[in-house]
């Protein structure tokens, strides 16, 4: 818990830190990567660093955390911490690396705010940083130990045994373990980090949802090409889609991710758009493997039927579930149905279909899509705590979603 003394100082300086957070984030990363360039090899996503807003995730989350500590000092923002801890653990982050971020972040705060950072102000923000850091270190230690790994053994080699073009832009890879270690079961909706070596020799990790339940031997993941320009954004996905073939080796982390299926026995509604189908495909496959008789409704939005990735697997799984139903919305027309329970033109509209009472909702897709769906659900009276979401990339939605009552 934040000390009373620091709480007053943090409260008084939050508006200034908040107003300068972009500048602080920029200075922080520039300074850190100049001093520690090795962090861009195998750990930080250089695609995120290239895009200004995404740099905000780490530094912004500390300001968000400080805000939460000031508002409710007795309670840590669990959802934020859990998401970050899973992401960190999927990258094999080590506890001793928190000292590096601390050094460069505090340097950036002083660099940007100058004399406003009195020793008292520095001490208060130091306390905020270490509260958050220890909460994360603690969770990450728990995540590693639950999987029987250490930061050094998170990574493992797999052999590609199948490669399927799902759509013009999405490729599915099935990989088989390349050693004798047993394959621990993933939870429905989890992802793995994939670590690749780029043509310039730099290693870069990215996260991809597992799109099929485990069978003790294989994992399946689906990757979307990023079109449009020469941005570092898609360099890993494009390399995977364009070059990886059957027989190649891939380096995958063990599975992580906290946006997993709620298996409390309540009806489940999955709402996805585009490549947001990937965690849903994993969840449906798990439900089929478990012989579930839950009521499960999939609502999916896409450009058209041909761009609906994993549609055959997903539809077969929905049909295999006694309580399964699936509906699609296509921006460019209606498609031939695929055996769906309903196909609609245009944007996804949750009011167009009957939804089970007391359901839990899982959302995945672009943030504006999820925002619109969440809004519709809340308007229908669905409690905010029953709406879970998964953001691909740094989650900058968190701050405003967390401020709404649940
Ligand atoms: C990602 C916060 C410490 C490396 C993130 C994200 C947040 C965050 C909010 C984005 C998660 C998402 O929504 O996807 C923090 C906080 C820290 C901390 C509050 C300290 C209290 C560290 C340290 C390292 C690190 C010590 C390593 C030196 C990363 C990396 C990512 C990440 C590599 C993935 C995204 C990217 O590559 O840009 N962190 N982090 N973080 N963090 Fe941390």
Per-residue pLDDT tens digits for 73-110: 777 888 889 999 999 999 999 999 999 999 999 999 99
Query: What is the DSSP secondary structure assignment for residue 256, as one 8-state letter?
Result: B
Substitution candidate for ligand 1 out of 88, 126, 138 with most atoms within 8 A of CB: 88
Mean pLDDT of the chain: 91
Residue 301, Cβ density class (10 Å: 0-12 exposed, 13-18 middle, ≥19 buried): buried
> Is the C-beta atom of 76 inside 6 A of ligand 1?
no
Atom of ligand 1 at shortest range from CA of 132: 21
Substitution candidate for ligand 1 out of 30, 46, 58 with most atoms within 8 A of CB: 58
Quote the crossing angle between the two packed helices 98-113 and 4-19, to the nearest 10°.
Answer: 70
pLDDT in tens, 54-71: 677 888 888 888 888 888
ipTM: 0.98
Q: Choose, from 29, 127, 140, 330, the residue flagged as catalytic.
A: 140
- Measured in Å, residue 393 CA sits from the centre of ligand 1 at 12
What pLDDT score was predicted for residue 64?
86
Distance CA(331)–CA(324), nearest Å, equals 24
Residue identifier of the C-alpha nearest atom 23 of ligand 1 = 98
Mean pLDDT by 10 residues, the chain (406 residues): 90 93 92 95 82 74 87 82 96 98 96 95 95 96 96 96 96 95 90 96 95 94 82 85 97 95 91 97 96 96 96 97 96 81 94 94 94 95 92 62 36
Residue identifier of the C-alpha nearest atom 30 of ligand 1 = 44
Find the angle CA(235)-CA(398)-CA(60) to the nearest 5 degrees: 75
Distance CA(224)–CA(221), nearest Å, equals 10
Residue identifier of the C-alpha nearest atom 28 of ligand 1 = 97
Asked about 140 being catalytic, the answer comes back as yes
- Measured in Å, residue 254 CA sits from the centre of ligand 1 at 18
What pLDDT score was predicted for residue 392?
80
> Is the C-beta atom of 97 inside 6 A of ligand 1?
yes
> Is the C-beta atom of 50 inside 6 A of ligand 1?
no
pLDDT in tens, 242-275: 999 999 999 999 999 999 998 789 999 999 999 9
Coil, strand or helix at 269: strand
pTM: 0.94
Q: Which two tokens stand for residue 372?
A: 């619109």
């Amino acid at each position: 818990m934040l000390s009373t003394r620091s709480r007053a100082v943090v409260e008084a300086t939050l508006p200034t830190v908040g107003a300068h957070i972009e500048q602080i984030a920029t200075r922080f990363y520039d300074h850190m990567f100049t001093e520690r360039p090795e962090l861009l090899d195998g750990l930080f996503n250089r695609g995120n660093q290239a895009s200004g807003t995404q740099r905000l995730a780490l530094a912004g989350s500390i300001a968000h955390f400080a805000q939460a500590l000031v508002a409710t000092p007795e309670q840590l923002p669990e959802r934020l911490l859990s998401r970050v801890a899973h992401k960190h653990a999927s990258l094999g982050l080590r506890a001793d690396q928190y000292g590096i971020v601390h050094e460069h972040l505090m340097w950036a705060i002083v660099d940007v705010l100058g004399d406003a950072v009195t020793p008292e102000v520095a001490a208060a923000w130091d306390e905020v940083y270490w509260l958050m850091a220890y909460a994360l270190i603690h969770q990450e230690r728990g995540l590693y130990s639950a999987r029987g790994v250490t930061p050094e053994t998170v990574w493992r080699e797999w052999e590609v045994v199948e490669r399927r073009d799902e759509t013009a832009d999405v490729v599915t890879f099935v990989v088989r373990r390349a050693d004798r270690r047993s394959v621990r079961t993933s939870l429905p909706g989890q992802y793995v980090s994939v670590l690749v070596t780029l043509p310039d020799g730099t290693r870069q990790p990215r996260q991809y949802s597992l799109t099929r339940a485990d069978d003790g031997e294989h994992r399946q993941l689906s990757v979307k090409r990023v079109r449009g320009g020469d941005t570092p954004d898609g360099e890993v996905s494009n390399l995977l889609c364009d070059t990886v073939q059957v027989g190649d080796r891939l380096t995958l982390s063990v599975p992580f991710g906290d946006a997993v299926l709620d298996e409390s026995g309540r009806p489940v509604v999955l709402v996805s758009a585009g490549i947001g189908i990937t965690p849903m495909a994993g969840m449906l496959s798990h439900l089929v493997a478990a012989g579930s008789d839950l009521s499960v409704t999939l609502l999916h939005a896409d450009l058209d039927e041909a761009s609906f990735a994993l549609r055959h697997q997903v539809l077969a799984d929905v049909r295999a579930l006694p309580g399964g139903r699936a509906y699609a919305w296509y921006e460019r027309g209606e498609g031939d149905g695929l055996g769906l329970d309903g196909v609609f033109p245009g944007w996804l509209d949750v009011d167009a279909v009957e939804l089970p009472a007391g359901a839990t909702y899982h959302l995945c897709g672009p943030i504006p899509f999820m925002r619109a769906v969440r809004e519709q659900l809340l308007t229908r009276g669905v409690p905010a705590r029953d709406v879970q979401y998964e953001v691909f990339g740094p989650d900058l939605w968190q701050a405003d979603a967390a401020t709404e009552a649940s």
